[in-house]
Amino acid sequence: MTIQDSPYALVASSQGPKAKVDSASTSPQQVENAYTMALRQFDGAAPFLNLKAGIVDMLKRCKRELTVTFPVKMDDGSVKIFTGYRVHHNTARGPSKGGIRYSPQVDLDEVRALAMWMTWKCAVVNIPYGGAKGGVICNPRELSLHELEGLTRRYATEIAPIIGPDRDIPAPDMGTNPQIMAWIMDTYSMHHGYSVPAVVTGKPVNIGGSAGRLEATGRGVMFTVQEAFKTFGWQLAGAEIVVQGFGNVGSITAQTAHQMGCKVVAVSDIDGAIYNPTGINIPKLQQYVKEFRTVVGFSEAEQITNDELLALPCDVLVPAATENQLTRVTAPRVRARKLVAEGANGPTTPEADAILNDMGLIVIPDILCNAGGVVVSYFEWVQDMQQLFWEEDAVTEQLRRIMVRSFHDVHNRAKELNTSLRNAALVLGIGRVAEATMTRGLYP
C-alpha cells in the first residue's frame, strides 16, 4: 500500500520526483531561491511602513530553525537516513502555524520562505498565529505506507521539542495529508500519555479534525475570486478557469469553480495537462484521478503540455502546484484576461509579478488567496481546545466571511496606497506583525 492508496489520499499525485527542475514550464536556470524571493517581496513592501531598522532586521530572519537527520527502517530491512526541518519564522501574534512538506526538492531556504509567508498570511486574515513550516526531503510516491508511517513518526519525535498546541501547530502541505497528520498527533500523544488533538490540524474528522478542512484552501481560493469578480463588476457564471496542479488545493478549487457555474477548461498535474474548451466535467475527472492517480489520459479532454496550459486563453489562471511557475519566461505568455489567483505558495517570481502587472492582470496573492487552509486550521484548533465541534456549513460560512473581509481589507489598502494587491497584502500583514512586536516590547 502506498500513500495514494490510503483512505485519506483525496486525489492522485503528490509532487513527483524532480518536479521543480524538470517541470515542463520551469528550467533549472529559472528557479529562484524561495527565501530570496520572500525577502525581495518584503523589501518591496517595507518602505510603505516606515519601520525601524531593528524591526526590519528581525522580521527578515527566522526566529528558530531546527534541522534533523534521522534513520528509518525500510521494507527491505535496510536503514535509510532522512533530513527534515521545522522553522519558526515569527511568534509575535501567537503560536506559530504552518504545513509540513514532503518533497525531494525541499531545503532549508524553501522552508524559511514558506514560514515567512505563513507569518504574513496569518496576519492578513487576522488570526492569532505566527508563521512556521516544516519539510522532509523524500519522495512520498516512492515510499510504502509502512515506510511513510515510520518516517513520519520519527520526524514527529525529532521535532516534538518545538511543536505543541500552544507553541507550534503543523498541518498538511504538498506531499502530506490527513493520515500523516494522524500519525503525528498519535506519536505526540503517546509521548505525553494522553491525546493531544490540537497539536496538528488537517487531521481526519474522527480524531478531532474539522469538517471542511480538506476543502478549505480550494474553497477559499474561489471565495476570493468570487469577491474579486463582484468587486470589479464581472460575471463569474461561465468564466473560464485554468488550474495548474490537481492535488488538494487545485482539485478543490476546480470543484468549487465548477459548482459556482464556471467553466474549468484545463487542469494539470506533475505528469501533464488536459484541455477541453467546452469545460471539463470535474466530478468525473475526480473519479478518474482516484483510480488512475493522474489527470493524464482522461478521455473527455485533449492532452497538452504544462507549458501550453499556462499560456491558454482564460478568465482566471490558478497556479496551485508549487513555487516558481510564473517566471520572466512563462509570464509574458500568460493569456488570462482577468485574474491570476495564487492557490500555491510563491508561484510567481517578482519579475513575473511586474510583467503580469504591466499586462494589466490582477494577481490575488498567495498570502490572501490560499489562506482558507490556515483559517479552517484555526477553526480546527479552536474546536479541539474547546472539545466542541461545528457543522460543516458553519465552518464554510465563517471561512467565507473571513476571506471576503480579508479581500476587502487588502483591496482597500491597495487603493489607498495605489499599489498591487500583493504589496497591499504584505503591507497589511507585515504592519500587523510589526505592531504586535512593538506592543509586546523588547525582552529583557
Give yes or no for residue 116 binding ligand NAD (CB under 6 A). no
Contact stretch for ligand NAD (CB under 6 A) within 87-95, 340-348, 387-395, 429-437: 340-348
d(CA 434, CA 326): 30
Kindly give the pairing relationship between strand 79-90 and strand 130-137: antiparallel
Give yes or no for residue 343 binding ligand NAD (CB under 6 A). yes
Give yes or no for residue 14 binding ligand NAD (CB under 6 A). yes
d(CA 308, CA 44): 31
- Cβ-based nearer residue to ligand NAD, 186 or 342: 342
Whether 133 is a known active-site residue: answer yes
Give yes or no for residue 324 binding ligand NAD (CB under 6 A). no
Report which of 110, 175, 170 is spatially closest to residue 323, judged by C-alpha positions.
110
- Cβ-based nearer residue to ligand NAD, 13 or 152: 13
**Residue 315: all three cell numbers together:** 478568465
- Surface-to-core class of residue 161, CB atoms within 10 Å of its CB (0-12 exposed, 13-18 middle, 19+ buried): exposed
Report which of 322, 352, 343 is spatially closest to residue 241, judged by C-alpha positions.
343
Report which of 194, 201, 182, 186 is spatially closest to residue 382, judged by C-alpha positions.
201
Angle at 250 between CA 426 and CA 393, to 5 degrees: 85
Q: What is the DSSP secondary structure assignment for residue 212, as one 8-state letter?
A: T
Give yes or no for residue 110 binding ligand NAD (CB under 6 A). no
Give me the residues paired with residue 29 across strands: none
Give yes or no for residue 174 binding ligand NAD (CB under 6 A). yes
Contact stretch for ligand NAD (CB under 6 A) within 47-55, 254-262, 314-322, 423-431: 314-322
Give yes or no for residue 173 binding ligand NAD (CB under 6 A). yes
Give yes or no for residue 19 binding ligand NAD (CB under 6 A). yes
Site for ligand NAD in 188-217 (CB under 6 A): 217
Continuous segment of H or E residues that includes residue 404: helix 392-417
Give yes or no for residue 96 binding ligand NAD (CB under 6 A). no
Give yes or no for residue 247 binding ligand NAD (CB under 6 A). yes
Coil, strand or helix at 276: coil
In whole angstroms, what separates CA 332 from the centre of its chain?
24
**Site size for ligand NAD (CB under 6 A):** 30
d(CA 32, CA 26): 10
In whole angstroms, what separates CA 189 from the centre of its chain?
26
Give yes or no for residue 84 binding ligand NAD (CB under 6 A). no
- Cβ-based nearer residue to ligand NAD, 179 or 370: 370
Give yes or no for residue 345 binding ligand NAD (CB under 6 A). yes
Indicate which residue of 133, 203, 263, 338 is catalytic.
133
Exactly one of 129, 246, 379, 407 binds ligand NAD (CB under 6 A); that residue is: 246
Kindly give the pairing relationship between strand 96-103 and strand 64-73: unpaired
For the CB of residue 22, give the shortest distance to ligand NAD in the complex, in Å.
8
Contact stretch for ligand NAD (CB under 6 A) within 145-153, 154-162, 173-181, 399-407: 173-181
In whole angstroms, what separates CA 410 from the centre of its chain?
19
Give yes or no for residue 268 binding ligand NAD (CB under 6 A). yes
Give yes or no for residue 256 binding ligand NAD (CB under 6 A). no
Give me the residues paired with residue 164 across strands: 168
Give yes or no for residue 23 binding ligand NAD (CB under 6 A). yes
Binding site for ligand NAD (CB under 6 A): 13-16, 19, 23, 172-175, 217, 244-250, 268-270, 306, 320-322, 343-345, 370, 373
- Catalytic residue positions, numbered: 133
